[in-house]
Chain A
Amino acid sequence: MGEILRVQDLWLEREGREILRRVSLVVEEGTVHCLLGRNGSGKSTLAYALIGSGGYRPSRGSILFYGQEITDLSITERAKLGITLAWQEPARFEGVKVKDYIALGMKEPSLPRIEESLRAVALSPSEYLNRYVDESLSGGERKRIELAAVYAMHPKLAILDEPDSGIDVLSLEDIARLIRRMASEGITVLLITHRDEMVPVADVASLICGGEIIRTGDPKVVREHYARRCIPCELAEPVESEEDYERYV
């Protein structure tokens, strides 16, 4: 297996402020790569830059997918190559049923696969297929449906932004099981989290701080570094906030 994603010296600036700095990252195909960092460290910003979100164009550097330069490709073009994102706070879609939402990303939509993806996130298909992806679902339910949609899409690279936050029923072990299942089915996972308990599911981990990746390697070592030196941390200033996306996209 070779590398699926290579990020080279990526910088992202906004209003004269550096949000991402000299980010370099290599993700090997077929692995689970954990990007660990405190809230505001630049994790979500990197995720948005990787999928090609409109407000997150890098000022410098490049992103390669299977060796192909994709830095200037649109979100749709990158998704068609096989990159997608499970959002930390998924959007709502009035009038769109769960089954149709999940089917949207599938090359060959099939009901058994949609049902299987719901079961993979501990949701009963009979109860959820015909519900709407709107405010009638709780935040946790929407989040699980988002993960189900990414799983059903079967992308080459799934970026999961804080899949472990705000989930009301799924335990960390359930999330870990889903991630392992994705990996066993050939989906490379870039797992973004601030919870070091999630790290053991990964094959490789990187630590991001102040918009810069400061360490990559054995998950145990990275986790230890994070636990000992990053929590609590009074040094790093947050470089992003949850409101940034709404402001800049």
Chain B
Amino acid sequence: MSVTYKIATEFEAIVKAYEKAGGKPEVFKSSRIASLVVSSNKVLAANEIPGIHMEAEELPSGIRATIRVEPGVKLEYPVHLCFGVLPQEGVQEIYSKFEIGDGAQVAFIAHCTFPNALDVRHIMDSTIHVGKGALMHYRESHYHGERGGTVVLPKARVAVEEGGQYFSEFNLTIGRVGRLELDYVVDVGPYGVAELVAKAYGYGDDSILVKEAIRLNGEKARGLAKSRIAVREKARSEVHGVTEGNAPFTRGHVDCIEIVRDEAIAIAVPLVSVRHPSAYVTHEAAIGTVDKKGLETLMARGLSEEEAVDVIIKGMLGG
């Protein structure tokens, strides 16, 4: 009885933290929405719906999960995933495998929340397979509290088969970052599409390292690696955007903007390579302070300088 009560209390607490990270708690009450809730190494809730199968195994410091979407299934509502650590200290390792069947269409909305973190380490190691003609959207939002005590290491290895499409967005724009080391690599087959977007806002002594690589291996594959980073105070950011055009008529683009304030440091390393004469890969990277004309335009509407900077940065990170 007391164990049930304890789990119920923890579920409520993690859902409350999930809400703070931008999630909508009501999704966990709907039987029509697939969901998975994990606190530290405990699976607190899992809801399967027809066409999607989720298996989760508890490990000493995390979980191992397999999420499989049957071929041809088109899920009406996004699948909601919630991962979190509520204590001030702890380690959470999530080893996940996503298998999106041929022709399936699915969207995932993941929230990772560590609201009280003083010394929390979160490792996310994913293997993702997007089948032929399948479509996968994956949006992950983080909330790490206000004390900067979180280390987050998200890693994904993604394979997109012929005609498949993979869209990923990583957001860490509310609260402190702590230390982030994101490492995504996507291999795209013929006629496939991959878009990786990473957004983060660091301050204090936060440290942000984003590595996004898209390898366009199949004919007419397309890819975009986009990052939007803002750093202020003594934060540091480093973005490595890689796009390879390895097959005929592939099209790729790396797009990086970093805004720097105060004593912060930002580095961008775009790397593009082409291994076929008909491939075309471009890059643009802009690092600097807030655009002066934008700033003065907003100030001429009555906003203070700080308010104007806030509008510009939030626009860049939120849009």
Contact = CB atoms under 8 A, between A and B. Distances in A.
Interface of A: 51, 53-54, 74-76, 78-80, 83-85, 87, 90-96, 104-105, 132, 134, 149, 153, 245-246, 249
Contacts of A96: 311-312, 315, 319
Interface residues of B, number: 24
Contacts of A76: 299, 302-305
B298 interface: yes
B175 to A, nearest CB: 19
A92 B299 CA distance: 14
Contacts of B305: 76
25 contacts: A51-B300, A74-B299, A75-B300, A76-B299, A79-B299, A79-B300, A79-B301, A84-B300, A84-B302, A87-B293, A90-B297, A91-B291, A91-B294, A93-B311, A93-B312, A94-B228, A94-B319, A95-B315, A95-B317, A96-B311, A96-B312, A104-B303, A132-B319, A249-B292, A249-B293
Interface centre among A90, A94, A134 (most CB of B within 10 A): A94
B296 A95 contact: no
Contact of B301 (A74, A95, A105): A105
B316 interface: yes
Given A92-B294, A94-B257, A249-B296, 6 more contacts: A53-B296, A75-B296, A79-B303, A95-B317, A104-B311, A246-B292
Contacts of B294: 91-93
A132 B316 CA distance: 11
Contacts of A105: 301-302
Nearest to B318: A95
Secondary structure dominating the interface of B: helix
Contacts of A92: 294
Interface in B137-153: none
Contacts of B314: 95
Contacts of B291: 91
Contact of B316 (A84, A95, A104): A95
Contact of B319 (A74, A95, A246): A95
A105 B296 CA distance: 13
A45 B305 CA distance: 21
A76 B317 CA distance: 24
A6 to B, nearest CB: 20
B199 to A, nearest CB: 10
A245 B293 contact: yes
B298 A94 contact: no
B292, B300, B311, B312 — which one has the most chain A CB atoms within 10 A of its CB? Answer: B300
Contacts of B292: 54, 246, 249
